[in-house]
Amino acid sequence: MKRFKEKTVIVTGAGSGIGRATAIRFAEEGARVVLVGRTADTLAKTAEQFPEDHTWIHTDNYLCVTCDISVQSQVQEMIKHTIDKFERIDVLVNNAGKATQGKITDLSAEDWRSAIDVNLNGTFYVSQAAMPHLIETKGSIVNVSSLSGMGGDWNMAAYNAAKAGVTNLTRTLALDHGPDGVRVNAVNPSVTKTSMTTAIQDNDNKTDKFLARCPLGRLAAPEDIAAAITFLASNDAAMITGVNLPVDGGVSASNGQPQF
């Protein structure tokens, strides 16, 4: 199914994990994909996994742009490169992020700034720069927030604060730009099998503790999150905006009590 034929889709953090899976899924569905990340090599590896259906995907149908989304001037250049090549933006996926652990008594000011800069300020910079083009195409934004942006975690003060900002920014952008024809939603994953979360989970057997609370009994794969993102970006979700969708195997259905 080619739901995104002739559509231009920007995916930040496209070099690995959820971003890589999402970029590949959009490419499989016919999109022209702009791969954004800080490392050219990882973006190239993502592009290598695009389908070899030359009816839809060829060298003119994707663009790799190295960009630090926490730097506003670089974001503006990235949007300019996108428009220069494809002349339009239909979908923006704000996926780039970083996990920062620590209580506020453990975090440095730089730890705090870095978490906010990448997770929240970066989402703001890219959304702001892309919005005029999305208004022209009546496009959509899908932010990758986190279940940690809908409730607290132990030892994740900066990350929780940043992702909570993304969660509520999603709602506000939906309200402000719904009249412009732009839909804005977010996915809120829980623990997902990526390099960023694996290191944290494996530190202290946290995976087993998580699975004990997860009704579906497994960690999400990046492809699970990509499927939700492409749904929210598609016309199948034409009447959905302002939603923060948990993609968590049912973890958020619990009030936190152990199973009796």
Q: Which residues are catalytic?
A: 159
* Helical pair 157-177 and 122-137, crossing angle rounded to 10 deg: 20
Closest CA to 193 of 211, 174, 167, 170: 211
Please give the sequence-ordered ranges of beta strands (E in DSSP) within the chain, or none if there are none.
8-12, 32-37, 62-66, 91-94, 140-144, 183-189, 244-247
Terminal-residue alpha carbon distance, the chain: 44
- Torsion angle defined by CA atoms of residues 187, 189, 195 and 198, in that order, rounded to the nearest 10 degrees: 170
Residue 259 DSSP code: P
Pairing of strands 32-37, 8-12: parallel
